[in-house]
Amino acid sequence: MLKFYYAQKKMWQMLINIVFIIQIILFIIIFLVTLYWFLDLIDKQFLTFINPLANFVSGLVKIFYRRMIEVGGVKIDGSILLFDIFALLVIWGGTQLKDFFDKQITKIDIIIDKVARDQEDLFNKQLQEDYEKQQLKNSNLAILISYSLNNVLGNAFWSEQSNDSMEAKEKEVDKQMYYALSKIPGCKVAKSGKQFLILSDKFEQVDYLLDYLKKLLAQMDEYVLRSQMTLTTYIALEPYEKKADIKKIFTTLNKLLSLKMPGEIICLGSFQLRYEFIKDRKYTPVLKGTYSIDESDKVWTLVKNN
């Protein structure tokens, strides 16, 4: 579309240039033949090289109009004067044509600007759609939870029996958490040591999962506190495509947990970008800082809205 309008603009500009060249040529011819005519009147003929041009112009005019002008009883050939008048009219007409062509170029420039803006808007819209499609490909969600138990009395009071109690309590926590997590509909749960990996094929249920986890961890913290222990938890999230390598996702989540941010729900920019497409979000991603994960990555923490 733009090529068509640019071709039109080029055509009008070419016509302007042609008219301008014709005007310059006519100005030169008018000057030369008028000078020749004036010198001929005063009987001065030292510009003889103009004779062929003057004779041609005079002969051309006489084809259409042949008349002598009488001034003071002296008859003068008025063909060159008539040519000058005609040429000046042509020059004036050329100026009007150039104004018309300029107006056409102005109109085309307006159209070009509009078409360019429309194409830019269409391009930006296409980019936005491609961006959304790319983000929406991350339709799955991985959540990695890690925890540790601590004796509120401190290590100085530990005994062999208290260590046994700690291990027993960890087994109870493992069992209860795995049971509670396995009840989440549409999710798969895997356990490795003191870590739980939750895989969901519906990213849109992220807020529900987070609320569920916060409630579960609060209950577990209250549960272990009765045995004079505290529960420290670490949570990381990452969206992924259906065909993604889960091992890579798990490695990334482990790197996030290695930042040791207890009690926080942390994620990378990939989650933050994907989370923007959730309507009525219950959490707000807040930039935590830039850390060395794979390269230099920004880490975000999710804060529950009031």
Residues 6+ apart with CB under 8 A from 241: 137, 138, 139, 140
HSE-CB at 283 with a 13 A cutoff on CA atoms is 23
Q: What is the pTM of this model?
A: 0.62
Using one digit for the tens of pLDDT, what is the confidence trace for 46-91?
Answer: 566 666 766 666 666 666 665 555 544 445 566 666 777 787 888 8
Mean pLDDT computed over 31-50: 65
Mean pLDDT computed over 263-283: 90
Of 174 and 43, the one with more pLDDT: 174
Task: Of 52-66, 89-103, 155-169, 199-213, give the lowest mean pLDDT range.
Answer: 155-169
HSE-CB at 21 with a 13 A cutoff on CA atoms is 6
Distances from the Cα of 281 to the Cαs of 78, 132, 268, in angstroms? 92, 17, 17
* Contact yes or no for 240/142 (Cβ under 8 A): yes
